[in-house]
Structure 1
């Protein structure tokens, strides 16, 4: 079945799985800020904890970075008590219910009186949230053909952003007027939406070979790696991994410096909230849907090129803010360019990484690819402040844009070796 052109866009976005991914994406996005980021740290500061303690408590959410470690178990087994739902839906329901319980328990915590209980439930909740993310990714890849993956990634991103809005701005508004316990209880109740979607959606059809069922416990951990290199070869496999690691580097390397740059450019916290956190989310959603439609219409290879160049050029848009500090139009222009291409590139990369996974080891291989796509930029972002202090923000943004060069060189080498989803296999040795 062809998924190219306008007909391809309608087929890709018209699948019932697209609506399912919207709700499952909401379930993945909702707990993230409540457990691992801004909302939790705001609550802790609001009740009087010092910044050092807040920073240490944030480490309790490290499970989000390590989800690939237990992903082989998600590929190999159904969750025992819910096995009748199937391998993917059983883990989905378990993780979603555990997230809801964790958020409800956090509502009852009094961090100003002691943080032991809070840290425990953040650990439990982040494990459950990371597990949910891994299973949702695996479910998306397995429930629809490769040609529809960009569309499902777009609807997933839309749901995820809605979850971020409610877990961020929504929880903060509730906390302001009703208090933190009621805010967290409301967020816990909202997890019933993805729970309902899990109960109503269909279980993906397991691969006919069911390789993962026949391997032993140790093999469940090394076989995903062996399968990846068996399918791609060692040389191509390594280049693909390096390419994935480099793809969003220009965007990720400026992430840590974005907030300080906004303040240093003369914008108020209210400006940042309005432009970056509200308007920017909608710009990101628009970019995600543009990416999904572009891949459905034109294929993934050309969109990888467009996305890579777009992410790099969007960094240069921040030069407007450096040149015209405190000008709100410059802020809107930079955030529009940055978030549009962030959303566009994110969907294109998800679709590309999905095409690289073996459906026998979907959760494991995709979790590894996601970690690889995020880690290089995160490490570089950690030292980006030193570069800004040694030069200037303007020089930093120019240098960050130039980091796209290795990505483009790798893409040039990969160009004829990248197989479009749904296309016949490449000849051996190509």
Structure 2
């Protein structure tokens, strides 16, 4: 799980934060960089093809989970090699963006399969510890995809840096070949008697007028959603989905703009790598460890509130950095607070979402939840360049911190529900 976490974390910044610095250096404006970041929304749309990952296995003698892992990991490696070979050209950007989309799609697929693998390989009681292990590997992948690629790019150029990242993806491929395939419960078709009458009644009108093959395919996509609604009740289920979607909003909306912000503040690629993507990721690992300890000591639900507050309040430190541009102490302060909060809150959220999913539809339901956790912030983050141009960096960072208010109101409502107080976790 540590290596799988590393493989998931490595490409994430290479189609986001790190890539934004490369795009800025070739002359792309902030608004365009923000729009380009919408390609990384593929990470938030993985729930659309997750039902296929739950149902079918690729034609490889590795099993369902390991088979899809190898396919996605090889796709990430090939895409990174191709991005390094082509490079961004402002006058002809479309082919490079297609390669970026390939890496994002393969990376998102890898994430969905790894999440399902993690949940299926052990018991629900062990999910907190396993989530912390996965996040530790993920953070190490972020170090390499953030600091590592910047160091290599500073010395050998961006193309060679992406070649090196593609080569490193072969490590997760080799690990997958030797990993154990988990034992899992097969997803249930809409036509089987295992489905409840209420689920049958909901799905039947959707599939009755479709050809049999399309009806079965649609039922396999709808059934995981219906099961989640039935198990929690419609009101609570919708509230949980909205809560997950809002939880990381203050953090996610910063994503693509922080790299250009550091460059505009006067820091070199090597300085950014050292503080933001080397020192900062180790601080994030400390937050990940603290999150795991807090979950073990107090449970998932009791750690949600401090995690949400930390995500929002840490963004205020970027205002300090904007007021004192080019000052290393303000840079370190901002990165320390932000990365610790991200590590802590990320572990809490992963454990919380793991408790919510059914093992009949692991990949689909977890992909939906993790997609929701990133989508609102990504959508707003794509417009962040225009917001900065209109409000300045200080105004944008203040707005990001205030955006936690709806999350806190919804958490207050959830805490008053008997289901929230009585269920384990």
| Fold in common (TM above 0.5) | yes
Query: Residue 96 of structure 1 is aligned with which of 65, 73, 77?
Result: 73
The structural deviation recorded for 1:108 is: 4.0
Moved more, 118-127 or 48-57: 48-57
User: Once the two structures are superposed, what CA deviation does each residue of 1:368-426 show, in whole Å capped at 9, x if it has no partner?
Assistant: 11221122223344556677677776665555434333322322222242268856xxx
**d(CA) in 2 for partners of 1:299 and 1:93?**
34
The structural deviation recorded for 1:92 is: 0.7
Tell me, which stretches of 5 or more residues in structure 1 are unaligned?
A: 1-20, 424-430
**d(CA) in 2 for partners of 1:204 and 1:30?**
24
Name the structure 1 match of 2:152: 174
- Kindly indicate whether residue 282 of structure 2 is the aligned counterpart of residue 282 of structure 1: yes
Name the structure 1 match of 2:212: none
**d(CA) in 1 for partners of 2:21 and 2:320?**
30
Query: Residue 64 of structure 1 is aligned with which of 38, 43, 52?
Result: 43
Distance 1:406 1:41, change over 3 A: closer
User: Once the two structures are superposed, what CA deviation does each residue of 1:141-168 show, in whole Å capped at 9, x if it has no partner?
Assistant: 1112223223222222222222233233
**d(CA) in 2 for partners of 1:32 and 1:236?**
32
Query: Residue 135 of structure 1 is aligned with which of 113, 118, 133?
Result: 113
The structural deviation recorded for 1:101 is: 2.7
**d(CA) in 1 for partners of 2:383 and 2:96?**
30
Q: Is the 8 A contact 1:245 1:375 kept in 2?
A: yes
- Kindly indicate whether residue 59 of structure 2 is the aligned counterpart of residue 86 of structure 1: no
Distance 1:235 1:281, change over 3 A: same
Name the structure 1 match of 2:196: none
Q: Is the 8 A contact 1:76 1:213 kept in 2?
A: no
Distance 1:194 1:337, change over 3 A: same
Name the structure 2 match of 1:33: 13
**d(CA) in 2 for partners of 1:181 and 1:321?**
31
- Kindly indicate whether residue 306 of structure 2 is the aligned counterpart of residue 306 of structure 1: yes
**d(CA) in 2 for partners of 1:248 and 1:343?**
12
Distance 1:107 1:287, change over 3 A: same
**d(CA) in 2 for partners of 1:120 and 1:395?**
33
Name the structure 2 match of 1:7: none
User: Once the two structures are superposed, what CA deviation does each residue of 1:19-46 show, in whole Å capped at 9, x if it has no partner?
Assistant: xx11001111222333x23444555676
* Pairing 1:129-278 to 2, within 5 Å after superposition: 129-207=107-185, 210-211=187-188, 216-255=216-255, 258=258, 267-269=266-268, 271-278=271-278
**d(CA) in 2 for partners of 1:381 and 1:53?**
12
**d(CA) in 1 for partners of 2:408 and 2:298?**
19
**d(CA) in 1 for partners of 2:165 and 2:190?**
37
The structural deviation recorded for 1:356 is: 1.0
Distance 1:278 1:116, change over 3 A: same
The TM-score, its normalising length taken from structure 2, stands at 0.80
The structural deviation recorded for 1:367 is: 1.5
SS in structure 1 at match of 2:217: coil
Query: Residue 74 of structure 1 is aligned with which of 34, 39, 53?
Result: 53
Q: Is the 8 A contact 1:147 1:296 kept in 2?
A: no
Distance 1:44 1:74, change over 3 A: same
The structural deviation recorded for 1:227 is: 0.8
The structural deviation recorded for 1:239 is: 1.0
**d(CA) in 2 for partners of 1:232 and 1:203?**
30
Q: Is the 8 A contact 1:71 1:367 kept in 2?
A: yes
Tell me, which stretches of 5 or more residues in structure 2 are unaligned?
A: 193-215
**d(CA) in 2 for partners of 1:213 and 1:205?**
22
**d(CA) in 1 for partners of 2:112 and 2:386?**
34
